[in-house]
Amino acid sequence: MGAYVCSNCGAEARVVTARKYQFRETPLKRVYLCGIHLIKCDKCKNVDPIIPELDDLLSSLAHAVTNKRSRLKGDEIRFLRKYVGKTQAQFARILELDPTTISKYENDDDVPGAQTDRLIRLVAIGLGVTGNASKNWMADTVGQFENIEDVPRASPLEYESKTGEVQYAGR
């Protein structure tokens, strides 16, 4: 894989394959990347993931979140908002909500109602996906609406690097 340097201290670093890496570089709190390569520094102990297709990964995560079978949690709402490139104020205007309401949702100080939860999912798809993928993704998500549990649940997402699949753990 070539020579690597640590992004933190500049020392020589090595590449290892991780069985499971917690992906903290996203607003989602419980995302694990399985089978990816990591740049590890023995000097400062810094670890950086190597993600060749980051846009595809983020799209796969957004797809999994919009198809989640329970109400959205705050970190998932924040992720979807950032995925579509909107500020809290912009997202609030689209949803016809007060910006403080979006902040409360994202910080788990309040929970969106069932209709708002579904609207957040559809807005994320509408603004974040293009072409035929949007139509298929929308159909997948709307098809899951009747299965959404009324209670928000914190469920970890796992991404398998070999297949590119993302799914909620335990399913």
The pTM for the full model equals: 0.84
Q: Show pLDDT as tens, one digit a residue, over the chain (171 residues).
A: 568 999 999 999 999 999 999 999 999 999 999 999 999 999 999 999 999 889 889 999 999 999 999 999 999 999 999 999 999 999 999 999 999 999 999 999 999 999 999 999 999 998 988 766 777 888 888 988 988 998 888 888 998 888 888 888 765
Domain ranges of the chain: 69-154
Cα 139 vs. chain centroid, distance in angstroms? 20
CATH architecture of the region 69-154 = Orthogonal Bundle (1.10)
- The whole-number pLDDT of residue 112 equals 96
